[in-house]
Chain A
Amino acid sequence: MARLAIPMMGNYSIVFATSAESLGVETWTRTSSTTEILKLGLDASPESACIPFKIYTGHFIKAATEGVEYAVMVNSCGTCRLRYYQPMQRKILKELGFDIHIFGLGYDGFKPPLIRYFDPKLWPFLTSIARAIAKLKAIDMVELKIWQIRPLELKQGDTTKVAEKLFKELAEAKKLKQIKKIKKNIDQRFDLIPVDETRKPLKVGLIGEASVLRDKFLNHNIEERLGHMQVQVRNFFLLGEELKKIFHFGFRNKFARNLKITREYLTSVVGGHALETIANTIRCANDGYDGVIHMCPSACMPEISVRPILKKVSRDYQIPVLEISLDEHTSGVGISTRLDAFVDILHDRREFFSK
Chain B
Amino acid sequence: MKKDAYLGIDVGSISTNIVVLDSNYKILKTGYTRAEGKPIASVQAAMGDLSELLLKEYHIAGVCTTGSAREIIGAVVKADIIKNEITAHARAAIHLHPDVRTILEIGGQDSKITLVKDGVILDFAMNLVCAAGTGSFLDSQARRLNIHVEQMSEESVLSKNPTTIAGRCTVFAESDMVHKQQMGHNQRDIIMGLCMAMARNYLSNVCHGKEILEPVVFQGGVSANKGIRRALRELLGKKVIIPKYHMVMGAYGAALIAAKEGIQNTTFRGFDIADYKIVTQSFLCDGCPNQCEVVEVLDRDKIITRNGGRCGKWDQ
Contact = CB atoms under 8 A, between A and B. Distances in A.
Contact of B209 (A221, A315, A344): A315
A337 interface: yes
B129 interface: yes
Contacts of A344: 84, 86-87, 121
Given A338-B126, A341-B84, A341-B87, A333 B68 contact: yes
Given A323-B128, A337-B68, A345-B122, A36 B84 contact: no
Contacts of A221: 310
A284 B170 CA distance: 38
A301 B96 CA distance: 42
B211 interface: yes
A13 to B, nearest CB: 15
Contacts of A83: none
Contact of B121 (A36, A308, A345): A345
Interface in A113-146: none
A138 B124 CA distance: 38
Interface residues of B, number: 28
Contacts of B237: none
Contacts of A242: none
Given A308-B208, A312-B209, A341-B86, A320 B122 contact: yes
Given A35-B289, A320-B123, A325-B129, A337 B84 contact: yes
A36 B291 contact: yes
B112 to A, nearest CB: 9
B209 A298 contact: no
Interface stretch (A66-74, A178-186, A267-275, A347-355): A347-355
B120 A35 contact: no
A37 B289 contact: yes
Interface SS, A side: helix
B140 interface: no
A340 B120 contact: no
A99 B246 CA distance: 61
User: Which residue, A324, A329, A330, A348, has most C-beta atoms of chain B within 10 A?
Assistant: A348
A35 B126 CA distance: 27
B120 A348 contact: yes
Interface in A258-311: 298, 308, 311
Interface in A25-41: 34-37
B118 interface: yes
A349 B122 contact: yes
B292 interface: yes
User: Which residue, B123, B210, B211, has most C-beta atoms of chain A within 10 A?
Assistant: B123
A351 B120 contact: yes
Contacts of B83: 340
Contact of A340 (B84, B289, B310): B84
B86 A34 contact: no
A305 B9 CA distance: 40
Contacts of A325: 128-129
A328 to B, nearest CB: 11
Interface in B278-316: 288-292, 310, 312
11 contacts: A34-B289, A35-B290, A35-B292, A221-B310, A298-B128, A311-B208, A315-B209, A338-B86, A341-B86, A341-B126, A348-B122
Interface of A: 34-37, 157, 217, 221, 298, 308, 311-312, 314-315, 320, 323-325, 327, 329-330, 333, 336-338, 340-342, 344-345, 348-349, 351-352
Interface of B: 68, 83-87, 117-118, 120-126, 128-129, 208-211, 288-292, 310, 312
Given A35-B291, A341-B124, 14 more contacts: A34-B289, A34-B290, A36-B289, A36-B291, A308-B208, A311-B208, A314-B209, A325-B128, A329-B129, A337-B86, A338-B126, A341-B126, A345-B123, A349-B122
